[in-house]
Amino acid sequence: MTIRYPQGIWLPLVTPFRDGDLDEASLRRLVRHYAAQPIDGLILAATTGEGLTLDDEETARLVQVVAAELAGKLPICLGLSGSDTRKLGKALELTAAWPVGSYLIACPYYTRPSQEGLFRHFATLARDSDKPILIYNIPYRTGVNMGNETLLRLAALPNIVGLKDCCAEAAQSFDLLRARPSGFSVLTGEDALFYNALTHGADGGILASAHVETRLFARVHNAVRGGNHSAALAVWRDLVDLPRLLFAEPSPAPIKHWLWRAGLLHSPEVRLPMTEISAGLAARIDAEIARRTSLAA
């Protein structure tokens, strides 16, 4: 399933591990759970999915299991990253026949290319694939910020369809929303700023925190899109502390702990260099789970 104009809630799915291996039983359970939630798509093997720790065989198996379990119920986007344009081109070729409808590709990290280098990098990748591509701009991880002029040049290419925006510059994000062409999506990747981004005109979010209270995140989105900002704000006031809690230590370990406590994961296991959460944060998360469970009872 391919969506050329991504919007709404896209979930960057965690990758379950058990004793160092891909935990396929937990993965299938996760997919069944979220396929019944009000989300608009899944993103696999991205940052939250610990994609940089997966080898090619594991990534292929991850995609196969998720696609088989979904049976077309939701679109799948595959996360890719790297600083070598040629290697990424080969990754696009390798995955061309996989059951994914689009790619989320991060800006090259560490090398800090110029704006022209960023443009040529993504223009080359767009030429190498006929699937839609979302750009992932996250300068506090990559070391380089793609400017709006470059983004708008890339938005003119037919299969550059959107952006996961983590530029951390409110003015840059707002100016892009004002200037973007029709058919170019902007999805925030800053969970704690989700409501603000929607009120500025963003089309949705790629939100790790939406693993938890998924329906409330969707309610915020739907209320804003429906013009009911007071209802959206009322939900957001209760929800905003959740992403702060789930990002209190490096993601996705806090999210995996929550999902483990909820019975969706067999284990909260992460791969180095990620580590398990501290005892203090575990206690805070457990307390929040208990609070929300009691409210729902």
Contact in structure between 17 and 53 (CB atoms under 8 Å): no
Burial class (CB within 10 angstroms; exposed 0-12, middle 13-18, buried 19+) of 77 = buried
Tokens linked to 22: 């891909």
Quick one: which of 179, 109, 190 has its CA closest to 150?
179
Q: 124-183, pLDDT tens digit by residue?
A: 999 999 999 999 999 999 999 999 999 999 999 999 999 999 999 999 999 999 999 999
> What pLDDT is recorded for position 3?
64
> What pLDDT is recorded for position 295?
85
Contact in structure between 110 and 83 (CB atoms under 8 Å): yes
Q: Indicate which residues carry an active-site annotation.
A: 136, 164
For the entire predicted model, the pTM comes to 0.96
142 annotated as a binding-site residue: no
Low-confidence stretches of the chain (pLDDT beneath 50): none
What domains does the chain contain, in order, with CATH numbers? 8-237 (3.20.20.70)
In sequence order, which ranges of the chain are alpha helices (DSSP H)?
A: 24-35, 56-70, 85-95, 115-128, 139-142, 148-155, 170-179, 194-200, 214-225, 229-239, 241-246, 253-261, 279-296
CA dist., res. 77 & res. 69, Å (int): 15
293 annotated as a binding-site residue: no
User: What does each C-alpha distance from 272 to 27, 126, 167, 253 come to in angstroms?
Assistant: 20, 32, 26, 11
> What pLDDT is recorded for position 4?
74
User: What does each C-alpha distance from 74 to 6, 101, 189 come to in angstroms?
Assistant: 12, 10, 20
- Cα torsion through 141, 198, 245, 136, rounded to 10: -20
